[in-house]
Structure formats: C-alpha cells, structure tokens
C-alpha cells in the first residue's frame, strides 16, 4: 500500500503546530522539550556569558514562500507568522522559557507552563527586533545588499547557566 505525500506547500501558519497545544501544563498536552544551557571551553566547563533569541520569521514570510515580508525594508514582517486565510496572525508561535528542574535551571520550548515556568522573556517579544545584515547580492559581482532574514535579541547575561557536578565556574567563563 502506497502512502501519499505532499505535492505542494501550505504557506499559511494555521496547522496544529501553530495552535496553543504546545507544552503548557495541561494534561492532554505534551511535556516541554527541556535542555540545559550549552557549555564551552576545552572541557566544556564554562558557561556562555550571554545568550540570544533568534527566529528566522522574515525569511519564512518572504514573498517567495507566499508571505508579505520585504527582507530589504522589513515592511510586512511579523513576529507571529500569518495564516493563509486573509493574513490573520497565527494563534500561536512557540517561544523559549526557563524552568526549574530540581536545583537546575533548564530551558524549555513551547508555551508557559503555570507553576513551572520561571521566565518567558516576553514570549514572542523575546525574539527582539529585525536584524539587518550585509549580504552578497546574487550575481552582483561582489556587490552587497542590506537585508533581514531574522529577528534577534541578545541578552547581556546568561540567565540559565548549566551546572556540572563539582562545578566551581558559574561566572560565565571567558567565551561568548
């Protein structure tokens, strides 16, 4: 028996993954994806001093994907992607938060989990402002163009450092 596959794409963000059914503490919803902060250094024994939130929404909302985001000007770009039924914002777009897992701070991806989430960083506002970078212009013989493919916000500190047994370096280390 053959299983049918996708023959095209749906550029609207209105499927199940863009509904508020992400981990939020409700019994019929999944648990959050949890992970500790990555570490750096020769023995992975240093925390990063700072973290950044980034989402490539401008790129996935670009006209060549059926969206309205102008990557050169930022006009029509949104932090919550639009559905395909007239451009209404999606019901939900997942974001990062922190939670306590015993004595350890962990990151989570999903929705606010009441009584467990310790910081949601402004939910979708955590992704910050449009990040404009200089790109080589395709076929431009070295010419450049200023454009955006991402939202980004860099936090000046790491609010959720990872701990290892016997760890004495919790000051953020020297790496960025």
Segment among 33-47, 73-87, 110-124, 138-152 with least mean pLDDT:
73-87
State the pLDDT confidence band at 8, using cuts at 50, 70 and 90.
low
Average model confidence (pLDDT) across the chain:
86
- Given this model, what pLDDT does residue 122 score? 97
pTM of the entire structure? 0.80
pLDDT at 3: 58
pLDDT band of residue 65 (cuts 50, 70, 90) is confident
Which tens digit of pLDDT belongs to each residue from 75-124? 999 999 888 776 788 899 999 999 998 889 999 998 998 889 999 999 99
Q: Cα(160)–Cα(173) distance, rounded to whole angstroms? A: 14
């Amino acid at each position: 028996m053959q299983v049918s596959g996708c023959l095209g794409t749906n550029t609207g963000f209105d499927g199940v993954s863009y509904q508020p059914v992400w981990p939020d503490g409700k019994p019929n919803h999944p648990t959050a994806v949890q992970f500790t902060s990555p570490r750096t250094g020769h023995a992975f024994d240093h925390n990063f001093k700072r973290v950044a939130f980034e989402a490539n929404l401008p790129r996935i909302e670009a006209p060549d994907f059926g969206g309205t985001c102008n990557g050169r000007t930022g006009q029509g770009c949104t932090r919550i992607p639009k559905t395909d039924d007239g451009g209404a914002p999606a019901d939900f777009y997942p974001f990062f938060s922190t939670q306590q897992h015993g004595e350890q701070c962990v990151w989570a991806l999903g929705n606010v989990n009441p009584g467990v989430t310790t910081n949601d960083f402004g939910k979708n506002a955590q992704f910050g402002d449009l990040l404009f970078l200089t790109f080589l212009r395709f076929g431009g013989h070295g010419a450049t163009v200023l454009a955006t493919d991402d939202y980004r916000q860099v936090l000046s500190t790491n609010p959720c450092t990872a701990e290892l047994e016997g760890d004495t370096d919790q000051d953020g280390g020297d790496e960025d």
